[in-house]
Every structure is written in structure tokens, then in C-alpha cells.
Structure 1
Amino acid sequence: MDTTRVSSTAFDGTAHAPAHARKFVRQVLGEWRLSHLAEDAVLLTSELVTNAVVHAGTGVELTCRLDVDAIPAKLEIEVDDQHPTRTIPSPGSVSPEGPLATSGRGLALAGMLADAWGVTYTRTAKRVWVRMELGEGCDPQEAQPGPPGRAVAPLETLHVGVVVADLDGVVESWNSEAEKLLGWPAEQVVGRSLKELVAWRGHGPYALSLADTLGLVRWRGEARMRHLDGKLVPVYVSHLRARGLAGERRTIWMIVAGDHRYVLTPPPPPVRREAGQRIKELIDQDTPFTELLDTIAQIVQVSSGGDAAYVLLATEGGNRFGVAAGAGATAALVGVLATGVLGADRKAPAMIEDLLAGDVELAQQLRARSLACAPLLVAGEVIGYLVVTAAQANRFDQELTVSLQHIAEQVAVPVQRERLAEQDRAHRGRLSFLAEAGELLAGVHDEELIAALTAQLVVPKIATWAAVYLTDLTGMTRLAHVWHSEERHNADLRKSLPAIPRTALTEVSWPVGPETVLAFPLLTQGRSHGALVIGRSEPTLPLELADLLADLCRLVALNLHTAMLYARQATTSRVLQRSLLPVRTAPMPGLESAVIYEPAEEGADVGGDFYDLFTVADHWCFALGDVCGSGPEAAAVTGLARHAVRLLAKEHYTVADIFDRLNHALLEEGEEGRFLSLLCGELTPLPQGGALCTIASAGHPPPLLLRADGEVEAMASPQLLLGIETGARFYVETFELAPEEVLLCVTDGVTERRNGDRLLDDGNGLAALLSGCTGLSAHAVAERVRHAVETFAAEPSQDDVALLVIKASATLRQVI
């Protein structure tokens, strides 16, 4: 039986070719159980491919060939280019470019690391190859196919599907066994792309994409395919790229259920001591902590033959363990595992034949039944665990626990040392991240903006995409914002997520895709404000990231709670403030009126100024006032004054009596320094047109009357402010508002508008402004005065602005 293994691929002659080649070789050697040769093989491959790209400048084909029947067993790596005219200098020759030339040094490196190397020329290609003999560290039998060493699922459930596709992955043939396995009849599948049927997820830094895999000559591995009913079925795939009778290339997939994978591949051997030595070498290379843990998990998983492997590290309390890294078919674990099986007092390796019989919670978390683990011990303290799991029961034996413990003993101290250094870096980074988030969210009182900022805080630093759900006071939850690291996917992401979840967010079935989906509640003071949902390409979430996201969610929930309180208070304030101003001004037949009202305080509807215009019997009343001070206290006086004026006028009190009663009311309030300036008047229609105006001014800027000929005259004498003296007496003045004449009433926010040391009304500036408004409508006069106030100085006004304009028409109808 020919046991030679061959795997090849091709790359364009670009600068990215060496990186693709390194990833390919690592993948192949991992599948062939030759991880101990990976570092030297990857280095040689990188040099050969770089040499081909630089010197030939053409596409290259890379082939890995393992011959286990040779004595000794050997691994050959070949790199072909399409430029046979260039010659390669031998390691000992002197380059014509001089002794310091860099060309040819790749093969000098080959001469040092490889057992043999050479160059083969053909008419169309040049092939450079290196040979590495398998030493004592590798049993050649590991790479040979053989009968399964463990039990498989019942034979009655075995279906071997055969799928043929073109090089683009479009299905051309689908046999009946594939239909039995996945439910799809051939007529529904032929013509569709494999990308639609395969939920592809690579594991680790050297994982291949589906497109890369389809381009390989041979490949075997686990995947998930969509059943006709929408579920994802774990399968094992044996991939082969072959030529048809007409020479066209085709992709052939043999597919079995995951339980039957050993029909297509031999079961992996148990962990060997060489794996532990390989990990130790990795630690000595000063590998970054996260990559170190990921690589440990990958090597343990591949070497053990388990479905998944985890590195667990103790939390700060030391009695619980969090997922620090994972490899294989991990269960998207987040944060902490609280269980008796993995306890701080368990200092010996353990094997659990069936988790469901002893720890149902852990079995559900890991989605596994078999478990083997070994503690990481430092100074007698358990700092973590190496864990291997499998979906079937009784998958492991005691030999595996011994091997795991051997690895754990070698890596425990270095892992603890690196972990302490990483914790210090992570703590600083965590504080920096939370400080940035707090600064970004500070002062934001809009829930939609908070949701948008939250999603963009975690993408792409922590997640590939993020979605924020918000829950209102009625308990209704809705999708508020989504954000993908590639913005063009935002629309598709929003469509794939439930807009209004029909169940609790903890029970939502999130869409299955290439990312692991995790949800974190936004909780504060016992109330849920929604959830942060993220998608990550990594299968697990390390404990440090889980804690960071938990802190971020608490910060976001607190800001949402503050925004909710702010919105409630703002709504209440607006409702109360609006009650201080008239809902609408009374229409005055024969008179035209216009009002401008602009509070100085940003976001306020009402300030210390107020106005009113209403009908009483056969005449109209108007009022314009200004309360001393600002804020809620001034607004309270504003409400008292406006409603008192309207109520007293409706009871037919004269303007003088209104002033007297309001003066007493303010004094009875007993609040010192709360004064009020008020301009109040009555308009009685005259038969010949126009109106008779009865008016009084208590400490208020006098109204200005614009005559038809452009003359401007102040029409009321100043009197004492209201709320100062109990025995004050007030009087009224009367004048006629003739047709086409304009009466302008303003507060001191207009007359005292400041530009440096100059006021708008200095030198009768307001009168001069009004004199130029002859012939304008009341609204035009009001807008001209407003514009003059706004443009008088560059900085905004610091005082409330209120003005009332009344213009008489030629004929005034009686009020009905």
C-alpha cells in the first residue's frame, strides 16, 4: 500500500506568497502530526518561496511530500517557478555581486537545516527542493492510515456523501448519500456554491479559509454544513482536487457525520512527551502571552485527539477558573467556569468518562461528555488547568492524563510568570480603555448616541461586530444600533438580527455564522437597560476580556440610566415651563401682533421673561414682564405673575388694580430680592379704527410708539418695581393707537444687549431702529428687532429676550 502523502498549492508571485506558504506548511504538518518539524520547515519554505519570487518573479507551486516507507522516513518540500533560465548559486560559491551579496543565502540556510537539497530544471519550470529526515521524535506510523482505535457511531447511521464541485466551489454533483446525510435533494443543490452550504470556521492563526482549502490538492478536517431544516451538522470532510477526462480540474468532497470521521481518517495518537517539549521551546522564544496560550491549546488539542482543548486560569480570588484560550470545537465559552470538577483543591490529573453523570452544568457549558484535565501547579497552588474534551463519552484513558500532567508541569511556572506580566499590562490597558469610554460617554444624554458609541468602542478592538439592544420603561426591547468592522456589512447584519426580540435577551437564538455570538446584559440598580451583543472570530472569550466587557456594560448601563433620568426630568421641565407661557396668543381683529421669545439658557423653554396676550369682554389685554434672577425660582415667579395678571383681568380689575394686587402677592411670598418689572395694558377698539390703549409700566422699559410719519415716542412713565414696597401706588396712562401705527414692547434683554461697553439702546438706539420700520408688518418689525439684537455683538446674548409688536389696521372690528 502506497502510504506517501502529498499536499500542494499554488500562489501568485507577490510579496504575500511567503506568508501564505508558511501558513500552508504549518497546516499540513499539523495534520500529518509533524509539529516538531514545523519551525525548521516553515523557515526553509519561507526562504525557498522568497527566493523564487525575487529571482523568477512568477507564480510558484508549493508541494509537501511525506514518505513514511522510506528508511529513514522523510519529508520533502518543493517550490516550482516558471522561470527555468535563472541558475541558483551553490552554498559554497561566490556570487558575482561580491562577498556581501544577499542572493543565494536561502539555499545556504537549506544546507544547514535540511538533510539534503537540490534544484531540478525542466523546459517550463525550475524546482528547488529540501529534504528533512524524520528523527526519533516522530513515529512514522503516526502518519499512516490505520483502523480506528476508538468506537464510532452505529453503522446504520453511516452515510458517505460525495460532492463534486468546480474550482469556484459551485456544486456539479450530489449523491444520494449526501442527501440522506444533509437532507438536500440534488436538484436543490446543484448549481449552488459550497459557501452557502458550509459554515466555515478556521481555528488558530494559521487556519485556511474555505477558498484556500478548495485550492489545495488534498485536505481533511472537520466542518459544519447546513441541513435542509436549517440546523448545522458537524461533519468530517476528505477533500481532493483532481482532473476530469477533458483535463478540467474538479473538487471532490467525501463527507461523513462527525461521529464517523474515523472512517475517513485514522484516530490521532495520545499526547506524547514531545508535545510538552515543543511547548517549552515555544515559551523560551518569548512568544506573546495570548499567542502562547493559543498555541498551547492547539498543540494539546491536536496531539490528544480531543474535540477541543482549553487553557483555564484562576481568577483573582483563586477559587474559580476562566477560559484563557481554546482550540478545536470549542463551546464559545465566556469568563468563569464554576464547578467542582475543576476546583482549586484538585491537585492531581483527572479523567471523567461521562460528565453528564456527575456535572450536568459543566457538560452543558463545554458541550462535551468526556473530559481529561491536569492542574497547573506553582508552589503548591493551582493557577489553572489544561483541559481536553470530547462530545462522546468514554473517549479518553489514563495515559492521556499522564501526558497532560507532563505538559502541565513544564509550562506552569513560565505561564504564571508571563501571566503576571500580562495582567499588569492588561490592567493598565483596561483602565485606559474604561477611562476612554467614560470620557466618551460623559455628558451624553441621548440613548441612541450612547448605543452608537458603545458599539464603536468594542469594534474592532474586541469584536468583529457589535449590536446594542435597548429596553425602555415599559419593558419593550428593540435593536438600537449595529456596527461591523466592515461598514458595508452593517445593513446585512441588521437584517440578520431580531429587531424586536420576542423572548428575553438571554434566551434569544442568535444567527449562526462564522463568528461566535455573545450577549452581555446592561444592568444597573437592578434594572435591565438592554444588552450588548458581539460577534468574535475567536471561539472563546478570555476571562480578562469578559471582565472588561462586564465593566464596560456597567458603565454603559449607568449612562443609560442617567440619560433616562435626564430625559424624564427634561420632559417634566418642558411641560411645566410650557405652562408658564400662553399656548397661543388671542387673535385681535383689526390688530396685527407678533411675539419673539428667546430664553438665554440653552435647552430651556422659559426664562425669567414672560408675555401674554388675551381677550377680556370687548377689549384685549397684553402683558410683558421680567423677573429678577433666573432658574426655577424665577420661573416660579413668572408663573405666578402671568396667571395672576390673566385672572385679575378676567375679573375686570383695572390695570392699576392688577399692579396693586400683584405687588401684594409678591410681598406675601416673603422671598427677599424677588422683584418683577411689568408692562401691562388694555386695548379698546375705536369706531373710526385703531384702539384706545390704557397702560402702566412698573420698572419696565417704556413701550415705543411708531407714528405713521416715522416719529417714535415713549408712551409710559416708569414706576416702582413690583415686590419692593407695600404701600406703593400705581397709575395708568392713556393714548390712542391710530391705524398704521406700531407699538413695540420689549424687555431689558433687548435694550441692554451689550457689545463691550456699549448697549443697544445707548443714544436711543432702539427708537432709531424702530423709526426705520415704517410701513412694515408687525412680524417684519419683530424680526428686524430680533436680528438687530442677535447681530449687535459676536457673542450670544446672556439675557432672555422678549418683545411684543402690535400694529393697528385701518378698521377695527368689535370683539364678539
Structure 2
Amino acid sequence: MDTTRESSTAFDGTPHAPAAARRFVRQVLGEWRLSHLAEDAVLLTSELVTNAVVHAGTGIELTCRLDADATPPKLEIEVDDHQPERQVLGGTPPLVDPLPTSGRGLALAGMLADAWGVTYTRTAKRVWVRMEFADVPESPAACLPAPRRPIDRLQVAVVVADAEGRVVSWNSDAESLLGWTAEQVAGSPLEELVVWRGHGPYALSLAETLGLGRWRGETRMRHRDGRSVPVYISHLRTDGPAEDRRSIWMVADSEHGFVLASPPAPLRREAGRRIKDLLDQDRPLAELLDTIARIVQLSSGGDAAYVLLRADGCNRFGVAAGAGATAGLVGVLSSCAFNLQCETPVLVDDLLAVDVELAQRLEARSLACAPLMVAGEVVGHLAVTAAQPGRFEQDLTVSLLHIADQVAATVQRERLAEQERAHRGRLSFLAEAGELLAGVHDEELLAALAAQLVVPKIATWAAVYLTDLTGMTRLARVWHSEEEHNAELRRSLPAIPRSPLSEVTWPVGEETVLSFPLRTQGRSHGALVIGRSEPTLPLELADLLADLCRLVALNVHTAMLYARQATTSRVLQRSLLPMRAAPMPGLESAVIYRPGEEGADVGGDFYDLFTVADHWCFALGDVCGSGPEAAAVTGLARHAVRLLAKENYTVADILDRLNQRLLEEGDEGRFLSLLCGELTPLPQGGALCTIASAGHVPPLLLRAGGKVEVVATPQLLLGIEADARFFVETFELAPEEVLLCVTDGVTERRDGKRFLDDDDGLARLLSECAGLSADAVAERVRRAVDSFAARPSTDDVAVLVLRAMPARLISP
């Protein structure tokens, strides 16, 4: 004898729901003669419904289920909401500390119920409690439902009502069950014949129930003799225009209600109706697929059901949605049951005998599947699995094919639309990533940006390994969605892998770990390693990450080449300038050098200061132009001046020979201005200066009395005329006097139309430097250049200051 009873209702997620739920449970338990359980059951129901209203805020479904055949008998109460992403708070309450302000519903469940649990699906969360009542004060017979009458006395009344809820048909079983004849009830409102259980304004009223497509449940109907007869009703509403719709009620007495209740294995026709209702609604693709999977799983009675869709550009099928115990654990499948040639349903009694790997990945032995066909092409599959072999019959494949035929076109249409949206989103994401990474020449910064691009949108954490141009691999950057775990994550990952990244066994934790290579131009530059809480990675995300990694690899490769080139350039450029100025007894020197090009160490300006036998030589030059070509002339000029001077050539001869050398290079338009001189110390202090200026800014001499003089006549630039001849001029640099040599980056410092050297501005500046050291004079000039205009200077700047020291300060 089946003594299982079930009664369900629904509520809006409003503050009134707990009160309505309490009334419903108390009424149901009274009908089931379980009033002695009412107090605990009502308290548990109130707490669980309140928890759902507060934390979910969605519609709520409440089900009471009595299993009288169990040993001991048990009562289960289930509360379903529609926000599965919200975690349920609760657990066993502490023994001493007071209960927390949240999660008290499940704390009470732990104290009052014999068992409780939470079941998650993709669209709902179910919280249930179980109460056993073997030891009750009343006799067990009084607590259980009354014995059902023999099946030969079964009566199924059929009542048909019109769109306004008035009776239009009443069969003979209805007359036998309720005593009213068809003539007596014709045209009567159903509400006069039904004792509705008072679901209240916050659940389903009778009018709302009549508007549903399908409903089952217990209630009471009025007998002609005045009695209230407990009945079980299976309600179905017909389709069509609103005025032509009919409500069909199949009614049995409560003892025979099991014949109208949902069977253990749901009916195939019910799935068909659900699919039809589903296709009539406009849903996002993910929700559509999830709902199809749930309908297939419930209607088939399988352990799990899947919707598989064909991956782009290949013959593999990936899991797009799943429902049941093992849903979402399989990723991409390649099997004889899932391929482009499989255009008919497939039934496998034992997967272990056909495909061991697939059986292990599905955690199943039985498999039934049907193809999703659109325009004669297989675009996916519907599949149902079970852990036991031989679970399914052939008629299940017919039902699956029927469902597949109904949903295939809709799924393909929505999928194409979703792919178009995803493609636009993918292009947008890659464009933003490319813009973010473009122009970044620092490998560490690129690694940090790559990790933060995928966390937390795609992964819980990410790590970037970089392989340098020598083949050395290192852990460059880690990033966790919870930053306090960054240090722990770095410790858990190998800092320097001892094997190729494709062969590394990553630490296994709660997350699924996936590795994507950073490859470009056939070379590996490392890997992006991610950890995800989801067990599988959708195909679209896998393709997106592959594209992102190619973009990151390209920028890392460029950054590595840039770094190597920059290092080489700095080494070469530094060789163009003297490492340090030569010390000169009796003279004090200071140099300011600043290339105008950002990131460069050497520009078109150069200087040198060195000793030759018993005198000193200095040079200050400016090459026409900038960049590597100008730097090449800079190196040629500086080394040529130094070499010729050490060979005891005079200043004039040095200019003559350097002029010829530049002309021999044949680089038209590459001119050079050069100020070159010799300093010979004098016994009384100071030095005799021999100087020549080949088109260079004239040097200035600050006399001891504060007067400023120009001490060299500008001559022709070097590299213009082969017959040019250069002459020298001589003057005495007395103690306390200062010789200032600059390039045009100083004199031509611009602020609008005004130059720093307008109206002898540099001479006036030098006249204010009497009594200052060489370093102080150079610093005064630098500050004048920087402060002359708001914008920074973009020209090369070179300043050479020579100051003769007083005789008493000259070391013997």
C-alpha cells in the first residue's frame, strides 16, 4: 500500500510569505493527522521561508511530503527559491555563544530536525528538513493517512469549466463522488463547489490556479449532503483564444489521489508541454539551455542530462549546459556517440563496453542521446546518463528525439545570436587589452597587466611565467581575486620550473588549474596559468584566452627585444662620452650634459677634457641632427680630436684633419660645429689658452673684475668645404677668471619668440657669477635653461666651465 502524500504551494517573496506558509503547513498536517508535529514543523517552515525571503527575494515554492512506508515514517518540508548563487548560511550552533544574527533557520534545523540539506541547481536552491516520528504519543495508525479504499472503488471525476470558471461538463463519476447531478451544477461557478484551502493573496488563489497550464494538489469539495470531501485534483488548462479556453479537472478522493499524482518517472508528455511553454518565452541562451537540460533530466529519470553543442571550426562537441549529479564535469567530448555523422538516436546499455574514457568522464554506465539537427546538419546532442547499466529503454530515445526536434532550431538561432554578441564582446575585450598592453616595454608590467586582465572576470587567480631570450623561465607575477592570498599563491607555485611549462604538474587545490602558452613567431615566451572554481572552461573562453595569450606574447617579445636594444644602445652611447673629466692642477672644471631625446644617453652634442703631456685639451661640439646618425658623428669627432691631440697636432691642424675626415664620409648635410682648445699652465697661476671655433657658439670669459668678453671668432662649420683653413686665437686665463663654453641648446633655449641669449642674456648671467666655483657657475646656467620656459627643453644641452684657481690654492 502506497502511503506517500505530497502537497505543494507557492508564494511571492514578500514579508507576508512566512505567515502564509505557516497557515499552509498547519492545515496540511491537520489533514494528515500529524498535528502533534505541527509546532516544530511550523517553526522550521517559518524560519526557512524567512531565510529565503531575506536572502533570495524571489518567488518561493513550499512542498510537504509524507512517506508513511519509511521506517520510521518521515515528514519532509522543502523550500525552493530561484537565486542559487546566494549561499545558505547556517550550521550547527555553538554550545555557549549565542546564535549569530544570520543563518538561524538552519541552526534551528540542526536542533529540531532529524536531517536537513541544501540542493543547488542552475536556477534554484532547495533547502529541506526531515522529521521522523516513530515515537509519538498517539498510535502510529492514528498518525498515518487513513487506509485507502480498494482500487475497484476508484472514481475519477472529470469536471470541465469555461474561461469564467463555470461548470460546462460533469461526468457520472463526479455525480457519484460528490452527489450533484450534471443538471444541478451546470453553469455554477467552481468556487461554489470547492472549499479552497485559503492560500491567501500572496500565493495561488482559485482563480490563479485556473489560469495555470498545469497544477496538482489536494483540496476539499462540497458534497450535496453538506460534507466537505477531501480530494486530489489534477488541473489542465487548454490552449487557444482566451474566451475558448477550458479548465479540465480530474478529481479523485484523497485515498486514490496517487493515481493522479506525478509518477516516479515523469511522463514524457509533461516534458513536451514544458518544452512548448519554454519556447514560447524569450530567454537568454544560457537559461534556455539550462532549462532544456533540467526538463530532459526530470522527464527521463536519469542521473544527469546534458546539452552538447558543436565547437566552432571543429568536429568536437562541448557541454553547454547540464543538470543532475554530474553536470558540468566533462568539458569537451569526442566519442562515437557525439559526432557529425551520428544523425540518429543512440542507446548504450553499458558505456564501459564501448568507450571507457567517456564512461569515466561522465561517471556513468547508461547513455541515451539524440542529435540536434538543423538544415540536415548536426549542431549538437541531447544526452541522458545513469550510473547503473541497462537503465534506459528504447522509447526514451524517441522522446529525446522529439524534444531535440522541437528545440534544435531555437537553440541554433539563439546560439548564433549569442555568438555574434560574444564575438563583438571578444573583439572589444581584445581591443581594450591591446590598447592597454601597447607601448609597454617593461616585461614585469606586461605580466602584471596580463594577470589582472583575467582576474576575476575569467579566473580566481592567475600566474604569468616568462621565458627570457636565453631560455630561462621564471615566475614573474601572480594575482589572486583576494589580494591577501597573493603571497600564499606565489609560495605554492614553482618559482623556476625544472621542466617545460607544458609538462609541469601544477599544485591541485579547490580550483581547476589550466595553462596557456605565450607563443609568438614559433617561440615560447612563457605561460599564463589560471585557477578557476568551475570544473570546465567553456570553448568560447578557451579561444578568448588563446587570443589574449598571443597578444601578450607578442608584446612580451617586443619588450624583450626593446630591452636588449636599449641596453646595447646605452652601452654604445656611454662609450661616446668620457667616463670622467681629467683633473687639472691649477684649474677647476665642471660639466653639464643632457641629451634632448627622451631615454637617450648621448645626443648630437658632446664634450671632452683630457691631458696631453704638459698641457690640457678640451672640446665641445654639436652635430647637425639627432638620433643614431648624429651619435655616430659624435663618436667619430670625439675620438678623432683625442687621437690627433695625443699625436701633438695643433688645434688648427686638428680642425683641418677632422674637416677632411667628415667630407670623406660622404654624408651630405652632416655638419659639425666644434670648439677646441689647449690649456698650458703658467708659473704665476692660471693658464695660457689656445682656442679655435669652427662655427660654434663663441666661448665667454669672465674677468676677475666682472667683465665678460667673447674670446673666439666663429669660423666655417666642419664638413662643408674641403679647402677651408682654420686659425687659432690665444688669451690668458688668469686666476679667479672663468671660461664658459656652451652649445646652442643653451643660447637658443626658446620661450615663444624669445631666446635665452637675446640681448646678451648669457653674458649677463655669467657676469653675475663672479667669485663662484666652476660647479656653481654650471648649476646657475642649468637652472637658467630649465626656468626660462614652462615646457622642458627638447634640444641637447652641453656646458663646460673652466676656472683658474688662485696661486695660493695650487698644490706644489
The reply on whether 1:560 has 2:525 as its aligned counterpart is: no
Aligned counterpart, 1:521: 517
- Aligned residue among 802, 808, 811 for 2:804: 808
Aligned counterpart, 2:15: 50
Q: Is the 8 A contact 1:325 1:542 kept in 2?
A: no
For each residue in 1:40-88, what CA deviation from the matched residue of structure 2 results, as whole angstroms up to 9, or x when unmatched? 95xx2444x53258x99xx999989999x979xxxx998759999xxxx
Change over 3 Å in CA distance of 1:350–1:746 after alignment to 2: same
Aligned counterpart, 2:313: 317
Q: What is the 5 A alignment of 1:82-161? A: none
Q: Is the 8 A contact 1:373 1:404 kept in 2?
A: yes
Q: What is the 5 A alignment of 1:612-761? A: 612-761=608-757
- After TM superposition, give the deviation of residue 312 of structure 1 in Å: 2.1
Sequence identity (%): 72
Q: Is the 8 A contact 1:596 1:802 kept in 2?
A: yes
Q: What is the 5 A alignment of 1:137-286? A: 167=91, 218-219=115-116, 274-275=270-271, 277-286=273-282
State which drifts further: 543-552 or 533-542.
533-542
Aligned counterpart, 1:11: none
Rounded Cα–Cα distance in structure 2 between residues aligned with 1:495 and 1:295: 42
Q: What is the 5 A alignment of 1:330-349? A: 337-349=333-345
- For 2:15, what is the secondary structure of its paired residue? helix
Matched letter for residue 795 of structure 1: R
Aligned counterpart, 1:198: none
Q: What is the 5 A alignment of 1:330-479? A: 337-352=333-348, 371-388=367-384, 401-479=397-475
Aligned counterpart, 1:486: 482
Rounded Cα–Cα distance in structure 1 between residues aligned with 2:740 and 2:307: 81
Rounded Cα–Cα distance in structure 1 between residues aligned with 2:526 and 2:490: 16
Rounded Cα–Cα distance in structure 1 between residues aligned with 2:453 and 2:390: 44
For each residue in 1:146-167, what CA deviation from the matched residue of structure 2 results, as whole angstroms up to 9, or x when unmatched? 9xxxxxxxxxxxxxxxxxxx94
Matched letter for residue 470 of structure 1: L
Aligned counterpart, 2:546: 550
Rounded Cα–Cα distance in structure 2 between residues aligned with 1:212 and 1:82: 10
- Aligned residue among 750, 758, 764 for 2:760: 764
- For 2:318, what is the secondary structure of its paired residue? strand
Q: Is the 8 A contact 1:270 1:400 kept in 2?
A: no
Change over 3 Å in CA distance of 1:520–1:170 after alignment to 2: farther
- Aligned residue among 592, 599, 622 for 1:603: 599
- For 2:404, what is the secondary structure of its paired residue? helix
For each residue in 1:698-722, what CA deviation from the matched residue of structure 2 results, as whole angstroms up to 9, or x when unmatched? 0001111222222222111111110
State which drifts further: 554-563 or 490-499.
490-499
Change over 3 Å in CA distance of 1:303–1:640 after alignment to 2: farther
Aligned counterpart, 1:256: none
Rounded Cα–Cα distance in structure 1 between residues aligned with 2:280 and 2:627: 68
Change over 3 Å in CA distance of 1:553–1:681 after alignment to 2: same
- Aligned residue among 573, 589, 594 for 1:593: 589
For each residue in 1:626-664, what CA deviation from the matched residue of structure 2 results, as whole angstroms up to 9, or x when unmatched? 011112211111111111111111222111111111000
Rounded Cα–Cα distance in structure 1 between residues aligned with 2:750 and 2:308: 69
- After TM superposition, give the deviation of residue 386 of structure 1 in Å: 2.6
- After TM superposition, give the deviation of residue 754 of structure 1 in Å: 0.8
Q: Is the 8 A contact 1:52 1:81 kept in 2?
A: no
Aligned counterpart, 1:187: none
Unpaired segments ≥5 residues, structure 2: 48-57, 74-89, 97-104, 121-127, 133-263
- For 1:552, what is the secondary structure of its paired residue? helix
- After TM superposition, give the deviation of residue 623 of structure 1 in Å: 1.0
Higher relative contact order (CA closer than 8 Å, sequence separation 6+): 1
- After TM superposition, give the deviation of residue 405 of structure 1 in Å: 3.6
The reply on whether 1:495 has 2:491 as its aligned counterpart is: yes
Q: Is the 8 A contact 2:321 2:328 kept in 1?
A: no
- For 1:522, what is the secondary structure of its paired residue? strand
Rounded Cα–Cα distance in structure 1 between residues aligned with 2:462 and 2:27: 44
CA RMSD of aligned residues (A): 4.6
Number of residue pairs the alignment of both structures matches:
633
Matched letter for residue 603 of structure 1: G
Q: Is the 8 A contact 1:331 1:367 kept in 2?
A: no
Q: Is the 8 A contact 2:290 2:321 kept in 1?
A: yes
Q: Is the 8 A contact 1:63 1:78 kept in 2?
A: yes
Q: Is the 8 A contact 2:266 2:298 kept in 1?
A: no
Rounded Cα–Cα distance in structure 1 between residues aligned with 2:294 and 2:107: 22
Rounded Cα–Cα distance in structure 2 between residues aligned with 1:692 and 1:241: 113
Rounded Cα–Cα distance in structure 2 between residues aligned with 1:762 and 1:483: 57
Rounded Cα–Cα distance in structure 2 between residues aligned with 1:415 and 1:802: 73
Rounded Cα–Cα distance in structure 2 between residues aligned with 1:215 and 1:63: 19
- For 2:418, what is the secondary structure of its paired residue? helix
- After TM superposition, give the deviation of residue 2 of structure 1 in Å: 11
Rounded Cα–Cα distance in structure 2 between residues aligned with 1:426 and 1:215: 49
Change over 3 Å in CA distance of 1:387–1:467 after alignment to 2: farther
Rounded Cα–Cα distance in structure 1 between residues aligned with 2:330 and 2:384: 14
Rounded Cα–Cα distance in structure 2 between residues aligned with 1:611 and 1:62: 97
Change over 3 Å in CA distance of 1:538–1:388 after alignment to 2: farther
Q: Is the 8 A contact 2:25 2:64 kept in 1?
A: no
- After TM superposition, give the deviation of residue 787 of structure 1 in Å: 1.1
Matched letter for residue 655 of structure 1: V
For each residue in 1:91-148, what CA deviation from the matched residue of structure 2 results, as whole angstroms up to 9, or x when unmatched? xxxxxxxxxxxxxxxxxx99xx99xxxxxxxxxxxxxxx77899xxxxx9999999xx
Rounded Cα–Cα distance in structure 1 between residues aligned with 2:495 and 2:434: 28
Matched letter for residue 51 of structure 1: H
For each residue in 1:4-34, what CA deviation from the matched residue of structure 2 results, as whole angstroms up to 9, or x when unmatched? 79xxxxxxxxxxxxxxxxxxxxxxxxxxxx9
Q: Is the 8 A contact 1:618 1:815 kept in 2?
A: no
Q: Is the 8 A contact 2:91 2:107 kept in 1?
A: no
- For 2:431, what is the secondary structure of its paired residue? helix
Rounded Cα–Cα distance in structure 1 between residues aligned with 2:344 and 2:321: 21
Aligned counterpart, 1:584: 580
Question: What TM-score, normalized by structure 2, do the two folds share?
Answer: 0.68
Rounded Cα–Cα distance in structure 2 between residues aligned with 1:169 and 1:304: 40
Question: What TM-score, normalized by structure 1, do the two folds share?
Answer: 0.68
- After TM superposition, give the deviation of residue 410 of structure 1 in Å: 3.2
- After TM superposition, give the deviation of residue 286 of structure 1 in Å: 2.1
Aligned counterpart, 1:294: 290
Matched letter for residue 457 of structure 1: L
Rounded Cα–Cα distance in structure 2 between residues aligned with 1:497 and 1:301: 40
Rounded Cα–Cα distance in structure 1 between residues aligned with 2:112 and 2:637: 86
Rounded Cα–Cα distance in structure 2 between residues aligned with 1:808 and 1:61: 108
- For 2:440, what is the secondary structure of its paired residue? coil
- After TM superposition, give the deviation of residue 524 of structure 1 in Å: 1.0
Rounded Cα–Cα distance in structure 1 between residues aligned with 2:670 and 2:584: 33
Rounded Cα–Cα distance in structure 2 between residues aligned with 1:469 and 1:353: 46
Change over 3 Å in CA distance of 1:216–1:773 after alignment to 2: farther
- After TM superposition, give the deviation of residue 308 of structure 1 in Å: 5.6
